[in-house]
Structure 1
Amino acid sequence: MSHYPPISEDLLIYFIVHCATHLHLKYSTIKVYLAGIRHHYIMAGLPNPLTSTNNQPHLRLQYTLRGIQRLQGPSSRPRLPITFDILRQLCSLLRSTVYGPYLDLLLESAFVLAFSGFLRCSEFTCSGRSFNPAYNLCVRDLNVPTDTQGYPDALSVNIKASKTDQMRRGFILRLFATKSTICPVTTIHRFLRVRRQMCSSPQEPLFILPERVPLNRETFTALLRSLLSRLGFQPHLYAGHSFRIGAATTAAHAHLPDHLIQTLGRWSSDCYRTYIRTPESLLRHASQSMTMP
């Protein structure tokens, strides 16, 4: 049994108040930290430190958490979707040359992959400049087989780590050629050829910037918002997660079955419904239809 120190309710309260007032952490982040503490103690064979001896939640701890949540108010993170129409505009802009041939192709490939794969930003970018080939997307994680005539028809991506994949089992993402101007297979196959011409090793980041540093979330979001600003959108309303939301929204508008949207986005429940943005015109039409005799 590990020799972890005993944790009282008072100590937990001091901890979360310190996180909120001195470290300026969000309520959701504090909850993750508490979950981490709970996980380590239980894995060590010790009682759950977040509950009392009779296995009931610590009331004062819960009230303090609730107070922090109310003080911070609701999250104001941008959540607008990047639908297929916006994706098409982004790709068209990049093809007209914005940052240079290599970076333009890199961004187009990342955008198309994120949208087509319903990916979270953390699944194809890294945090800061810390790149770990065991978890982050590498050149070797892509496989683009070609047919007898040398044309790519499908694409497989090895996603090794994900937000909901706590055991790091990973999954193989399969994408298929769309035979349209926005095709994940042809776009990424073109980018992969460029990466190989750069004499990249298999364990190098797939998306690496011209200065030879891996593409991280902050840089990706900044470049995305710069492009959206050029197109006349309000950039602060979009972020990396907008591609996943936009993919779900586009799939719903294309009348894909619910179970298929859930499978494409790898949702284990029907929480994907909260990602789907319904236009006001459709709601207006639904309301008018309900009042027709």
Structure 2
Amino acid sequence: MNSLKKPSHTSNNKADKFNTPLNNTDPTQTSAPRPYHPHLTPAPSSLRPHCLARDRLLSWRLASSTPEAASSMQLPAEIIHQIASVIGTSWTEATKELYGTSLLVYHVFCDMNNIPDSAGCPISSDLLSAFLASCTGAHSGSTLANYAAGIRAWHIVHRCTWDINEREYKAILEGTVTHQSTTRLAPASSKHPHRAPFTTDTLKLLHGILNKDNPCNAAIYACIVVTFHCITRLGEFTVPSIKSFGPTKHVSRASYHLVHNHQGLPVMVFNLPATKCSIKGEMVQCTPQDNPVTDPMQALQNHIHLNPATKDTHLFAWKHLIHSIRPLSKAEVTRMIVKVAKSHPGLLNLKGHSLRIGGMLFYLLNGVPFDVVKTMGCWSGDSFTIYLRHHALVLTPFLQSKPELLNALKGYILPPVWCREQVRVP
């Protein structure tokens, strides 16, 4: 089989249809990689260039020649790089950073145990078990799951066989290989206390503290109220840093629309260009509320009135100086939440993620069905049920001794269940 050659340009420009460079670089994040932590410094290797964490999946190469790599040796290097780049676009930047950290920890482990690069990929079940077992006791179960997912993603990007079947993979993560639960062995320091949920009373408290005529305070309050009622993540309505805003990956003024249904009822719609779980973005929505203090529409209108900006500006950008408009960062909102929580003992565990938890509980406690709340919060699986286990408020009606109350609630709160009589087997 003849090796593929990069086609030369012809007069009819057919070559322009192939090998077009992918623009995966984020122009707003061009900082140089920081030095490794003294306890997480891999051995020098040409296979592992010092780069940003999000670039490790693609830039850290394999040492051994796998069957997949051997079959592609006839392809030009730039085409192989193009294949890896295309595969890598399936993850968000935040996920790539998380997986890049996983790779770093894994390679440091291999260096410490004199495991050669050629044995590190494809990884064996024994090596994966040994790596995760070595981390047990120092990290939480979710962290270990992220480590395993990062190693797996590295295999996928470089088209290396993942020789660990699904049952074996789950067994390793569950701790059955080591006969102990990694979650049980995780140190208390790795486990965060349960987040206190935001409530409408919390929003009212914030409204009384924040100056609605202050551009920054108005932006923060509008962001908090909208995030709460849309049941979304705070990071998806803010920016990581004031220099990182990009209209193609962060919510802008153009992302917001007010629409009405066939009955004339208003709905506030926000198109998020990218989210934690979807690089294609998601659409979230909420409706105006009767209480003017906690109404997301009034909060947003007040913010836009005080902070006028163009359509391509961040949705919650605020007037920092007379001639300067600044995107609202997650840190700015978090600082305000922490400040308020510290001054009110009952809100000590209030964090940014409390908004998503509180929004979900707000709708459930107001009788909105589980499946509707799940759709509003863009949960593709049943992970949202984890929130319920930690908040007895939602479960309280079902624990009452009054059967008439329980029967009244079942119809519109419990998820729909098919009755056996409705299912007929031919």
> Is the partner of 2:231 in helix, strand or coil?
coil
Q: Counterparts of 1:202 and 1:38 in 2: how far apart (Å)? A: 40
**Conservation of the 8 A alpha-carbon contact between 2:268 and 2:285:** yes
Note if 1:41 corresponds to 2:155: yes
Note if 1:159 corresponds to 2:272: yes
> Larger Cα Rg: Structure 1 or Structure 2?
2
Q: Give 1:28 shift.
A: 2.2
Residues 253-278 of structure 1 deviation map (CA, whole Å, 9 limit, x = unaligned)? 21222222222222234443332423
Q: Counterparts of 1:205 and 1:267 in 2: how far apart (Å)? A: 25
> Which residue number corresponds to residue 241 of structure 1?
353
**Which 5+ residue runs of structure 2 have no aligned equivalent?**
1-67, 71-116, 404-426
Q: Counterparts of 1:88 and 1:272 in 2: how far apart (Å)? A: 26
Residues 56-105 of structure 1 deviation map (CA, whole Å, 9 limit, x = unaligned)? 449778557967644433622441111122222222332xx38x611221
Q: Give 1:176 shift.
A: 2.4
Residue from 191, 202, 218 that aligns with 2:303:
191
Pairs within 5 Å for 1:95-174: 97=211, 101-129=214-242, 131-133=244-246, 134-144=248-258, 153-165=266-278, 168-174=279-285
> Which residue number corresponds to residue 208 of structure 2?
92
Q: Counterparts of 2:231 and 2:306 in 1: how far apart (Å)? A: 24
Note if 1:207 corresponds to 2:207: no
Note if 1:259 corresponds to 2:371: yes
> Is the partner of 1:137 in helix, strand or coil?
coil
Residues 156-181 of structure 1 deviation map (CA, whole Å, 9 limit, x = unaligned)? 2111222332xx12122233223431
Shift of the 65–188 alpha-carbon distance from structure 1 to 2, 3 Å rule, reads farther
Q: Give 1:115 shift.
A: 0.8
TM-score by length of 1: 0.73
> Is the partner of 1:237 in helix, strand or coil?
coil
Aligned residues: 271
> Is the partner of 1:219 in helix, strand or coil?
helix
Shift of the 15–260 alpha-carbon distance from structure 1 to 2, 3 Å rule, reads same
Q: Counterparts of 2:140 and 2:306 in 1: how far apart (Å)? A: 41
Q: Give 1:25 shift.
A: 6.1
Q: Counterparts of 1:60 and 1:262 in 2: how far apart (Å)? A: 30
CA RMSD of aligned residues (A): 3.8
> Is the partner of 2:307 in helix, strand or coil?
helix
Q: Counterparts of 1:171 and 1:159 in 2: how far apart (Å)? A: 5
Q: Give 1:121 shift.
A: 1.8
Q: Counterparts of 1:266 and 1:55 in 2: how far apart (Å)? A: 28
TM-score by length of 2: 0.53
Note if 1:175 corresponds to 2:291: no
Q: Give 1:119 shift.
A: 1.0
Q: Counterparts of 1:117 and 1:237 in 2: how far apart (Å)? A: 21
Q: Counterparts of 1:130 and 1:110 in 2: how far apart (Å)? A: 19
| Greater Cα shift, 185-194 or 60-69 | 60-69
Note if 1:82 corresponds to 2:191: no
> Is the partner of 2:284 in helix, strand or coil?
strand
Shift of the 66–31 alpha-carbon distance from structure 1 to 2, 3 Å rule, reads farther
Pairs within 5 Å for 1:19-34: 26-34=140-148
| Greater Cα shift, 170-179 or 105-114 | 170-179
**Conservation of the 8 A alpha-carbon contact between 2:360 and 2:373:** yes
Shift of the 288–267 alpha-carbon distance from structure 1 to 2, 3 Å rule, reads same
